[in-house]
Amino acid sequence: MVFPFRSVQDFQIEIPDEVEIFRKSVRELVEQKIMPRWQEIEKTNEIPKEIFKEMGELGLFGVGIPEEYDGQGGGQLMTAILTEEVARAIPSLGVAIGVNHLFGIPILLFGSEELKKKYIPPIARGEAFGAHANTEPVAGSDVAGIQSKAKKVNDHYVINARKVFISGAGKANYFVVSARTEPPKADKRWWGITVFVVEKDWPGVNVGQQFKVIGMRGEQPYEVILEDVKVPAENVVGKVNEGFKIVVTTYDYTRIGIAAQAVGIAQASFEKALNYALQRETFNKPIVTHEMIIDKIANMYIRLEAARLLTYWAATLADKGRKEFVIAASLAKAFATETAEWIARQAIQVHGGYGVDTEMGVERYLRDAIITTIYEGTNEIQRLTIVRQLVRQAFGLRI
């Protein structure tokens, strides 16, 4: 036994040839069409519509979505590699990919066939966008703490909610929204939450202020307000009052995408640092030959590859349907995001004064990396999940 797993074979990562071919095609698109526009996106705080259009035409928004719903197929590993390659250029574009999955995964896993057929194909084709509205002013990582209300009235529900830090809300056509349909039970705080699909153009749905966070220029989050929004009963995702399980299960999968974003950020930061260290000279020789820079570059590379392996491993376990992927996903999310923050910080140090010059494009990776440590469950929550899953897998105990 390889505690808490069963065998060393549980740590296998197998990458099919078609996934590598796919990665190369995404890298080509990124280098030619996306990377050159990073300064424009930083300055305007918008990702150009033509980038989304081209990605949609190439089917990239359908990666990870079954072909029967107009997707491209592929699983968590292919989605992670797509996210990594895109985030290497524009981390906020990686967020845009992740937000669609935050919308689609709960419907694909728990929704009715009617919901899947209605809402998933437009997302897969890139004709529409989804968002995931769960976080509230008083509840984020503590999903059971949400206070939004949904009241059953005849054949529909009436929702009143204020959601905050909702990525992708500005361009979203649809939202997955969590709200309380019953108060929590004394011994079950999670009880009473229900998940709904809500369309942006329904009366009472309003996208409010945009939060000016330090990073992720081009895909910064919004406030979403629902005032007496009528939602058909058939738009309930899964079982009434059991939406907590839907939300946290969704995050089990999508935190792999956050780890992949972080790997992309770390890769870009490492590349910039290494290239600069080879070109910059002090005392008549490249700084890459100085011991302190050697130490930085080596440690950056060590952590980068460890983060990538953890991320691909978590994705592989998820694609195999192994329940152990939950702990692997939290390991990957916590380690990769903290690695991205650390590598980005070292990249700035290697660049010296140029590292904090916004025109160089190095400091933006640190700003973006910090955000990855917070959303999709803070890294403190990831550590809680790791220990809970560890004890559950090894000893069958719940803590």
Q: What is the pLDDT of residues 207-220, one digit of tens each?
A: 999 999 999 999 99
User: 245: which residues sit within 8 A by CB, 6+ positions away?
Assistant: 190, 238
Read off the pLDDT of each residue in 179-192 and give the average, rounded to a whole number.
Answer: 93
pLDDT digits (tens, 9 = 90+) for 96-128: 999 999 999 999 999 999 999 999 999 999 999
Looking at residue 365, what is its pLDDT? 98
pLDDT digits (tens, 9 = 90+) for 315-330: 999 999 999 999 999 9
Give the C-alpha distances (Å, rounded to integers) separating 118 from 108, 111, 125, 235, 373: 12, 11, 13, 10, 34
Please, is 49 exposed, middle or buried when counting C-beta atoms within 10 Å of its C-beta (0-12, 13-18, 19+)? exposed
Confidence of residue 229 (pLDDT cuts 50, 70, 90): very high
Contacts 24+ apart (CB under 8 A), 20-25: 22/74, 22/78, 22/81, 22/82, 23/81, 23/82, 23/85
Number of other residues whose CB lies within 10 A of the CB of residue 169: 23
Number of other residues whose CB lies within 10 A of the CB of residue 33: 15
Minimum mean pLDDT among 107-116, 130-139, 231-240, 390-399: which range? 390-399
User: 240: which residues sit within 8 A by CB, 6+ positions away?
Assistant: 181, 194
Residue 17, strand partner residues: none
Read off the pLDDT of each residue in 151-159 and give the average, rounded to a whole number.
Answer: 97
Alpha-helical regions (H) of the chain: 17-29, 38-44, 49-57, 76-89, 91-110, 113-124, 243-279, 291-319, 325-351, 363-372, 379-395
CA 3 – CA 1 distance, rounded (Å)? 6
pLDDT digits (tens, 9 = 90+) for 241-281: 999 999 999 999 999 999 999 999 999 999 999 999 999 99
> Hunting for tokens 């008083």 — which residue is that?
138
Read off the pLDDT of each residue in 181-190 and give the average, rounded to a whole number.
Answer: 92
Element (H, E) at 158: strand 156-166
Residue 182 DSSP one-character state? S
pLDDT digits (tens, 9 = 90+) for 10-67: 899 999 999 999 999 999 999 999 999 999 999 999 999 999 999 999 999 999 999 9
Both structure tokens of 336 = 């990769």
Written as one letter, the residue type at 393 is Q
Looking at residue 1, what is its pLDDT? 53
Nearest to 237 by CA among 157, 356, 127: 157
User: 289: which residues sit within 8 A by CB, 6+ positions away?
Assistant: none
Element (H, E) at 229: strand 222-232
Written as one letter, the residue type at 319 is D
Kindly report the average pLDDT of the chain as a whole number. 96
Read off the pLDDT of each residue in 345-360 and give the average, rounded to a whole number.
Answer: 96
Whether the CB-CB separation of 246 and 321 falls below 8 Å is answered with: no
CA 286 – CA 110 distance, rounded (Å)? 56
CA 242 – CA 238 distance, rounded (Å)? 8
Nearest to 118 by CA among 62, 171, 174: 174
Q: What percent of the chain has pLDDT over 90?
A: 92
Looking at residue 390, what is its pLDDT? 87
Q: What percent of the chain has pLDDT over 70?
A: 100
Nearest to 63 by CA among 108, 16, 125: 125
CA 84 – CA 290 distance, rounded (Å)? 31
What residue ranges define each of the domains in the chain, with the CATH number in brackets? 13-128 (1.10.540.10), 131-241 (2.40.110.10), 245-395 (1.20.140.10)
Residue 232, strand partner residues: 156
CA 268 – CA 340 distance, rounded (Å)? 10
Q: Which residues are catalytic?
A: 376
Does residue 2 register a pLDDT over 80? no
Which of left, alpha, beta for 78 (phi over 0: left; psi -120 to 50: alpha)? alpha
Beta-strand pair 130-133/174-180: parallel
